[in-house]
Homo-oligomer: A and B are copies of this chain.
Amino acid sequence: MKGRQVTIKDIAAELGISASTVSRALKDHPDISVETKKAVNELAEKLNYKPNVLALSLRQSRSKIIGVIIPELIHHFFSSVISGIDDLAYANGYSVMIAQSNESFEREVNETQVMLSSRVAGVLVSVSKKTKNFEHFQVLEDNGIPVVFFDRVSKEMKMDKVVVDDFDGAFKAVDYLIKTGCKRIAHYGTSMHLLIGKNRHNGYLHALFKNNIPIDDSLIFKCDDYDEAWYLTEKLIKSGNMPDGIFAVNDITAIGALQAVKHLGLRVPEDISIVGFTNGRISTMSDPPLTTIEQHGYEMGQIAVRILLNRLEKDEEEHEPETRVIKTDLIVRESTKQI
């Protein structure tokens, strides 16, 4: 019952041989006779021996754990990414340690300390909204722990990144709105110090520009969650400054706007068209279903892992930071008009 776990020594003792021999036998070292190997393997099987990865990691001072730091777990996009991370990590014999910062800078810093303490092989991170300083990640790199950022990244960090083509995605969304007849398109965006905020904003501007639509600052807002969107949309409509299209930085915000529009007795898309960003599960559940941008979270997770594993293999020599950009797709549903 309540037992210690079986070790190599237990096997060695029971067989009357040394621990080294058992170790070598288990990994099919040529120095060991077939009979010994057979005996060792059989006993290991019988005792349900599992190598102690702690000891292993300690020995070669590198663990098979990938650390992941994200702002929030309860979020379709992030859980997609983690799912991609977990699947590929698992396929390569790595385990995944997660830590959510809950959008708190202090906790994010603390989590990097934990990663350091745990001697993880590498860290994948999407920074919190409050993070404007990246020293704690540099510390990881300085201690030999490679860091790969995904989605929420910043320009100033000279490290590996994998991001979605936010500019192009936003452009596609807004361009589509225009092509379906919208002329007064509002943008609900997130913090501009996050690249994703800035890039989506710029994509929005670029689409207007390309289509010769003047920029109207009274239609551009910092607004990135459900309740905010509801409130803002209601205010906007009642104020008389009503847009005929809304491009929101994510699906939740888009749906908040959508609900508010319907609540006021207006129709989507006839009166106001709406486009979100992410293509999460909810985008098919709203009424009407949401036109949005597919962000390929699962693939993003996988790519991040692949970049990390690559770095871990050829770990020496100076390394030139790489930025991978994932293309988005416009998913047309019924919250926008026909083209």
Chain B neighbourhood of A118, CB < 8 A = 53-54, 95
Pair A142/B1 contact, Cβ less than 8 Å? yes
A117 interface hit (Cβ, 8 Å):
yes
A97 interface hit (Cβ, 8 Å):
yes
Pair B76/A255 contact, Cβ less than 8 Å? no
* Among A53, A65, A95, A114, residue most surrounded by chain B Cβ atoms (within 10 Å): A95
Chain B neighbourhood of A205, CB < 8 A = none
Chain B neighbourhood of A282, CB < 8 A = 281-282, 285
Chain B neighbourhood of A61, CB < 8 A = 4-5
A99–B80 CA distance with the chains assembled, in angstroms: 14
Count of A interface residues, CB-CB < 8 Å: 60
**Distance from A93 Cβ to chain B, minimum over Cβ atoms (Å):** 9
Report A73-97 CB contacts with B as 1/0, cut-off 8 Å: 1111001101100110010000111
Report A1-38 CB contacts with B as 1/0, cut-off 8 Å: 11111000000000000000000000000000000000
| A144 and B2 contact, Cβ closer than 8 Å, known pairs A52-B119, A116-B50, A286-B285 | yes
Chain B neighbourhood of A285, CB < 8 A = 255, 259, 282, 285-286
| Among B79, B90, B97, B142, contact of A95 (Cβ-Cβ < 8 Å) | B97
Chain B neighbourhood of A117, CB < 8 A = 50-53
A58–B286 CA distance with the chains assembled, in angstroms: 51
A98 interface hit (Cβ, 8 Å):
yes
Q: Assuming A2-B144, A74-B80, A95-B118, what are 5 further A-B pairs, CB within 8 angstroms? A: A54-B54, A72-B83, A75-B79, A226-B284, A259-B285
Considering the complex of A and B, which 8 residue pairs feature the smallest CB-CB distances, nearest first? Answer: A287-B287, A73-B83, A50-B116, A50-B117, A54-B58, A74-B79, A79-B79, A53-B117
A325 interface hit (Cβ, 8 Å):
no
A281–B225 CA distance with the chains assembled, in angstroms: 12
Chain B neighbourhood of A259, CB < 8 A = 285
Pair B74/A76 contact, Cβ less than 8 Å? yes
User: Which A205-237 residues have a C-beta within 8 angstroms of B?
Assistant: 226
A193 interface hit (Cβ, 8 Å):
no
A239 interface hit (Cβ, 8 Å):
no
Pair A55/B53 contact, Cβ less than 8 Å? no
Pair A139/B48 contact, Cβ less than 8 Å? yes
A52–B2 CA distance with the chains assembled, in angstroms: 27
| A83 and B87 contact, Cβ closer than 8 Å, known pairs A52-B119, A119-B5, A144-B4 | no
User: Which A234-279 residues have a C-beta within 8 angstroms of B?
Assistant: 252, 255, 259, 262
A191 interface hit (Cβ, 8 Å):
no
Pair A3/B142 contact, Cβ less than 8 Å? yes
| A113 and B50 contact, Cβ closer than 8 Å, known pairs A3-B142, A86-B99, A99-B96 | yes
| Interface pairs (28), CB distance under 8 Å | A1-B141, A1-B142, A2-B144, A2-B316, A3-B142, A3-B144, A5-B61, A5-B116, A5-B119, A5-B143, A52-B58, A54-B57, A54-B63, A54-B118, A72-B83, A73-B79, A74-B76, A86-B99, A87-B102, A95-B97, A95-B99, A95-B114, A96-B97, A226-B284, A285-B286, A286-B286, A286-B287, A287-B287
